[in-house]
Amino acid sequence: MATHESTEFLAGVIEGFYGAPWSPAERSELFEWMSRWGLNTYLYCPKDDLKHRTIWREPYTLEEEAALRTTIEGCQRRGLRFIYGLGPGLDIRYGQDSELEHLRRRFQQVGALGGRDFALLFDDIPDATEAADRQRWGSFAAAQCHVANTMAQWAWEHTPDGRFLFCPTPYCGRMAERQLGGEGYLETLGRELLPAIDVFWTGPEIISQEITVPHVRELRQRLRRKPVIWDNLHANDYDGRRFYCGPYAGRPRELRGEVNGLLSNPNNEFPLNYVPLRTLAEFVHGRGPWDPRAAFESALREWQPRFETVHGPLALEDLVLLCDAYYLPHQEGPEAENLFQAIAGLLAGRLPAQKEAVQACRAQAARLRQVCARTAEIRCRPLFYALSRRVWELREELDLLDRILAGETEKGILNESCSSDFHLPGTYRGGLASRLQQLLVQHADGTFTARRDLAGPPPGPLAGPAHHTAP
Ligand code: GDL
């Protein structure tokens, strides 16, 4: 039986988010960063490459082959491991041999382009199989193991030192607790998946604030192997208003010894990934207790030249303020958090609304607004384009709040209403998604309750799709 021979610790990047995949030029820059920083692995699996998931059986065209070859060669030229990921889980029929043939053909096609390492990804799919499959394999997990084992054997016959990875359907603690994929899913994987196949895991959550050693040890027992962490800490595909420029954080350095790899699936906007990936590399290679803030500051110093504007450099302290406003999913950076608390405190009347306090708060808000505005002058246009929509929104909110705070300094009244010609109903916070958001309030424990005071006049009839309406 062929087994893989590589035990290398996998450290690097997953292009595995929903949305437009990175361009060839962005990948080329990524590979340069990675080789410079000692990251060794890149996993290609953009969810919205149609042929990765939706029409996974269709072969790549010649043009697509050429593009993929460029990526594979660019990666391997830098000495990095290129892993090709395929996600057949939306509609695969596990029990049909013709499906295995489709998988083989795709892997062969990628193999001919230079691919040596492969992954089968079963995340974000319906956790149901046809009755015949269940009968034949006994469980959903066993059906997936059969497919993965067959394909891994095939891959290792061609490339004995290649890696083969598998993403389970329940890929985080919360999903496993809810028994996604059926009872005993992870234990079945532990028993039936070939021991040399690596298994992905995102931590206790899809976006895990923390990943601890005890959490991973417990998982290792069930999987009978060390997992490879698919880290979504800096992923932003689920929220179009944010991006994450904070450091790799919430994981102790000891985690490295508990896993077979750490791969980050970061921001969609490639240029915004400097700090996330630079600090991941530092986490992997450095020694001693992990200090995320020190790593952040050091990465920002390296990144700062990219923020050269037509009027000279952006000061480091301004860059810190900007990145603190777009730090980590569960946490603002300290300067942004302080600003928020100052504004919220003044508005709640908790702080003595002395003129000096209001003025200091307004000055800091004005500084952040100014930094947002200055991003438009950045010479590196792809970087500005990646920032522009989000910082625009931040500027608008700061502008509005400043109008309220101005009431204190100018008229001695706080909390009076204000108006702005730039923020009229309909153009500001308008649109269905935004209005629907206003109908739900999320509480600190994560639960939602509905607001019932926003109803307008009674609605007209709700029309269904054309084929449902009466003739
Ligand atoms: C996910 C998806 C990933 C996506 C991420 C963040 C995994 C294994 N799959 O659930 O493609 O980018 O969340 O939204 O994480």
318: domain CATH number is 1.20.58.240
* pLDDT at site 471: 39
Same structural domain, 79 and 131: yes
* 411, 426, 447 - which closes a domain: 411
* pLDDT at site 229: 99
d(CA 195, CA 426): 57
Same structural domain, 70 and 140: yes
Task: Flag whether 363 is in a domain.
Answer: yes
* pLDDT at site 13: 99
Ligand 1 atom 9: residue of nearest CA: 123
* pLDDT at site 350: 66
3-class secondary structure for the chain? CCCCCCCCCEEEEEECCCCCCCCHHHHHHHHHHHHHHCCCEEEECCCCCHHHCCCCCCCCCHHHHHHHHHHHHHHHHCCCEEEEEECHHHCCCCCCHHHHHHHHHHHHHHHHCCCCEEEEECCCCCCCCCHHHHHHHCCHHHHHHHHHHHHHHHHHHHCCCCCEEEECCCCCHHHHHCCCCCCCHHHHHHHHCCCCCEEEECCCCCCCCCCCHHHHHHHHHHHCCCCEEEECCCCCCCCCCCCCCCCCCCCCHHHHHHCCEEEECCCCCHHHHHHHHHHHHHHHHCCCCCCHHHHHHHHHHHHHHHHCECCECCCHHHHHHHHHCCCECCECCHHHHHHHHHHHHHHHCCCCCCHHHHHHHHHHHHHHHHHHHHHHHECCHHHHHHHHHHHHHHHHHHHHHHHHHHHHHHHCCCCCCCCCCCCCECCECCCHHHHHHHHEEECCCCCEEECCCCCCCCCCCCCCCHHHCCC
Half-sphere exposure of 455 (CA within 13 A, CB side): 6
Same structural domain, 102 and 244: yes
Q: Can you give the CATH number for the domain in which 162 is found?
A: 3.20.20.80
Instruction: Count Cβ atoms within 10 A of the Cβ of residue 310 and give its class: 0-12 exposed, 13-18 middle, 19 or more buried.
Output: exposed
Q: Is position 124 annotated as part of the catalytic site?
A: yes
* pLDDT at site 469: 46
Site to probe by mutation for ligand 1, drawn from 237, 239, 242, 269 as the one with most ligand atoms within 8 Å of Cβ, is 237
Nearest to 278 by CA among 244, 242, 303: 303
| Ligand 1 pocket residue status of 244, Cβ below 6 Å | no
Same structural domain, 138 and 271: yes
Same structural domain, 107 and 248: yes
Q: How many angstroms is it from 2 CA to the middle of ligand 1?
A: 31
Ligand 1 atom 11: residue of nearest CA: 17
Question: b/e string for 194-223 if b means 16 or more Cβ within 10 A?
Answer: bebbbbbbbbbbbbbeebbeebbeebbebb
* pLDDT at site 353: 66
Same structural domain, 281 and 322: no
Task: Flag whether 157 is in a domain.
Answer: yes
pTM of the model: 0.95
Ligand 1 atom 3: residue of nearest CA: 17
Domains held by the chain: number: 2
Task: Flag whether 101 is in a domain.
Answer: yes
* 411, 436, 455 - which closes a domain: 411
Q: Which atom of ligand 1 is nearest to the CA of 17?
A: 12
Q: How many angstroms is it from 65 CA to the middle of ligand 1?
A: 25
Same structural domain, 312 and 213: no
Same structural domain, 141 and 204: yes
Ligand 1 atom 8: residue of nearest CA: 123
Angle between helices 97-112 and 140-158 (to 10 degrees): 40
Task: Flag whether 444 is in a domain.
Answer: no
* pLDDT at site 414: 64
Would you tell me how many other CB atoms lie within 10 Å of the CB of residue 165?
26
* pLDDT at site 49: 96
Q: How many angstroms is it from 190 CA to the middle of ligand 1?
A: 22
Same structural domain, 98 and 65: yes
| Ligand 1 pocket residue status of 232, Cβ below 6 Å | yes
Q: How many angstroms is it from 123 CA to the middle of ligand 1?
A: 8
Same structural domain, 321 and 379: yes
Its domain, for residue 44, covers: 10-290
Q: How many angstroms is it from 347 CA to the middle of ligand 1?
A: 37
Ligand 1 atom 10: residue of nearest CA: 206
Q: First and final CA of the chain: distance in angstroms?
A: 63
Task: Flag whether 315 is in a domain.
Answer: yes
| Ligand 1 pocket residue status of 264, Cβ below 6 Å | no
- List the catalytic residue out of 91, 97, 123, 124: 124
Ligand 1 atom 12: residue of nearest CA: 17
| Long-range pairs, 356-363, Cβ under 8 A, ≥24 | 358/405, 358/408, 358/409, 358/414, 359/409, 361/405, 362/402, 362/405, 362/406, 362/409
Angle between helices 292-303 and 316-324 (to 10 degrees): 120
Would you tell me how many other CB atoms lie within 10 Å of the CB of residue 41?
24
Task: Flag whether 439 is in a domain.
Answer: no
| Ligand 1 pocket residue status of 205, Cβ below 6 Å | no
* pLDDT at site 408: 66
| Ligand 1 pocket residue status of 303, Cβ below 6 Å | no
| Ligand 1 pocket residue status of 265, Cβ below 6 Å | yes
Site to probe by mutation for ligand 1, drawn from 232, 262, 268 as the one with most ligand atoms within 8 Å of Cβ, is 232
Same structural domain, 260 and 316: no
| Ligand 1 pocket residue status of 169, Cβ below 6 Å | no
Site to probe by mutation for ligand 1, drawn from 15, 121, 124, 228 as the one with most ligand atoms within 8 Å of Cβ, is 124
Task: Find out whether 246 and 327 touch, Cβ atoms under 8 Å.
Answer: yes
* pLDDT at site 307: 98
Q: How many angstroms is it from 286 CA to the middle of ligand 1?
A: 27
* pLDDT at site 130: 80
d(CA 209, CA 232): 10
Task: Flag whether 467 is in a domain.
Answer: no
Same structural domain, 119 and 251: yes
Tens digit of pLDDT per residue, the chain (471 long)? 444 567 899 999 999 999 999 999 999 999 999 999 999 999 999 999 999 999 999 999 999 999 999 999 999 999 999 999 999 999 999 989 999 999 999 999 999 999 999 999 999 998 877 888 888 889 999 999 999 999 999 999 999 999 999 999 999 999 999 999 999 999 999 999 999 999 999 999 999 999 999 999 999 999 999 999 999 999 999 999 999 999 999 999 999 999 999 999 999 999 999 999 999 999 999 999 999 999 999 999 999 999 999 999 999 999 999 999 999 999 999 999 999 999 999 888 766 667 888 899 999 999 999 999 999 999 999 999 999 999 999 999 999 999 988 876 676 666 678 888 989 988 898 999 999 999 999 999 999 999 988 888 877 888 777 655 443
Task: Find out whether 439 and 450 touch, Cβ atoms under 8 Å.
Answer: yes
